[in-house]
Structure 1
Amino acid sequence: MSPRSKNRLTLLAILSPFVLFFLAGRYLVDPWELPRQNKGQLLIPHIPVSDLGLMESTDDPYRADDMSGRWTMLYIAGDGCDSRCKNGLYYQMRQVRLALTEDAQRVRRVVVLTRQPNADFRAFLDDNVAGMEEVQGDLKTLKATLEAAYGESQSSPVGDIYLVSPDGQIFMRYRTHEDMDATLEEAENIRLDLKRTLKGSLIG
């Protein structure tokens, strides 16, 4: 065997495992079936927050620019706030943000009010989860824009928590729960996703 043929065989022996690995990954493995690191529902494509048609209390549009500089936990609220709502706002948003310790200042909390809060809800917002930004949203517009996120098993996005990037892209969704064990598990999911996101990000 000539030296040239030996060199070719040596090169083939070195490259063949990588070629086989590539072919297996390309044709035998479905990437969507692989386990993912994120705990929440990843939204692909991302949804621009500007598509939600949100308004500030001053009746000015709430745009992506209003979210620049920080990551956002966004909650969609109805007119009242039941135990599921309170669990989400308190444990899955307020407490999760505090648990981020030195990164807490990189995250803001926003509640989207689709109706005027009743007295109990207003008191809860003021007394238990103070510091949240409040914006107004039209439920019909929210339903149409976020329908791909919550799917057919749910008739409305009310009660859901979304993560929004500093450039105004909604990229993750979480549900809220009446059961405390489920609430705390979901809160930990949000904390882990946020921690990983903040660690790998140079923005916000």
Structure 2
Amino acid sequence: MSGSKSSDRAGAGLPSLSPDPMALTVHNGPAPVLPTTAQRPRGRITALLVLLACAAPVLLSYFTYYVWRPGSRNNYAELIQPTRTIPADLPLRDLNDRPVSPTSLKGQWLLIAVGGAACDERCEKHLYQQRQLREMTGRERGRIDRLWLVTDDVPIREPIARAMAEGEAPARILRVPPEDLSRWLAPEFGRTLDAHLYLVDPMGEWMMRAPAELEPKRFYKDLDRLLRASAFWDRPGRAE
């Protein structure tokens, strides 16, 4: 009888049969191992370390230039602190009156000249100095773009337009109203926007203003230090 068979199996040290037939088809697997309270913070710390490792080159380059400065170093140009991000709604237009997105300027160092399309003697001098400074950086010149921001709707003089288009890397010419541009760039007190060259980093941050009476060789030293300090993360060629 079934009762005696169960008793015999128990007496023989064998496991008793379950009366539930479904128990014959179910196999108990190992219980899931959940992260302990101690393991969760460790995972967050690991993720944070990975994030810091990715950002370290950018942070280090700016720390090197802005914070750690040997006593013998003197900046010729004026550092802008805090830096100013290019406004997302800056109304830029090309020479065909088509709108240009401000984000399209990111990805390269920018040497910016500002002025009216008539381009007086000072304007011509700045455009020449732009080109001169870029060439002075030698093999690093591929990391620098020249930009002329024209603050009126007057036609560009043909000799100026032709000169800006020459060379392996033609300068870019965009139009922008001066009142809008002043939300981003600013001259020294008592001067006008067209009195300076402006330097913008590849992230679109205006971070340096050249003196009004520019000495290119002295400004080049500042530019060269910045290019060296940012070599960890900046590469030639505008990001698409």
State the TM-score, normalizing by the size of structure 1: 0.67
CA contact (8 A) 1:54 1:138 kept: yes
CA contact (8 A) 2:109 2:200 kept: yes
Separation (CA, whole Å) in 1 of partners of 2:182 and 2:208: 16
Alignment of 1:47 with 2:76, yes or no, is: no
- Partner residue of 1:162? 198
Separation (CA, whole Å) in 1 of partners of 2:125 and 2:89: 24
The equivalent position to 2:217 in structure 1, one of 188, 192, 203, is 188
Pick which of 109-118 and 191-200 moved more: 109-118
How far has the Cα of 1:118 moved from its partner? 4.6
Distance 1:122 1:151, change over 3 A: same
Code of the aligned partner of 2:79: L
Distance 1:54 1:79, change over 3 A: same
- Partner residue of 2:185? 146
Distance 1:194 1:76, change over 3 A: same
Aligned pairs for 1:90-129 (under 5 A) are 90=128, 92-118=129-155, 121-127=157-163
How far has the Cα of 1:129 moved from its partner? 6.1
How far has the Cα of 1:176 moved from its partner? 4.4
Q: Which runs of 5+ in 1 are unaligned?
A: 1-33, 178-182
Alignment of 1:133 with 2:193, yes or no, is: no
How far has the Cα of 1:59 moved from its partner? 3.0
Separation (CA, whole Å) in 2 of partners of 1:142 and 1:75: 12
CA contact (8 A) 1:71 1:166 kept: yes
Q: Count how many residue pairs are aligned between Structure 1 and Structure 2.
A: 159
Structure number, greater radius of gyration: 2
State the TM-score, normalizing by the size of structure 2: 0.58
Deviation readout 1:102-141 (Å, 9 max, x if unpaired):
001110001101113455x442231366311111111112
Distance 1:114 1:42, change over 3 A: same
- Partner residue of 1:59? 98
Give the 4+ runs in structure 1 shifted more than 6 A: none
Q: Which runs of 5+ in 2 are unaligned?
A: 1-70, 236-240
- Partner residue of 2:60? none
CA contact (8 A) 1:50 1:168 kept: no
CA contact (8 A) 1:52 1:145 kept: no
Identity of aligned residues (%): 22
RMSD of equivalent CA atoms = 2.6
Aligned with 1:69: secondary structure?
A: coil
Aligned with 2:93: secondary structure?
A: coil
How far has the Cα of 1:196 moved from its partner? 0.7
Pick which of 46-55 and 131-140 moved more: 46-55
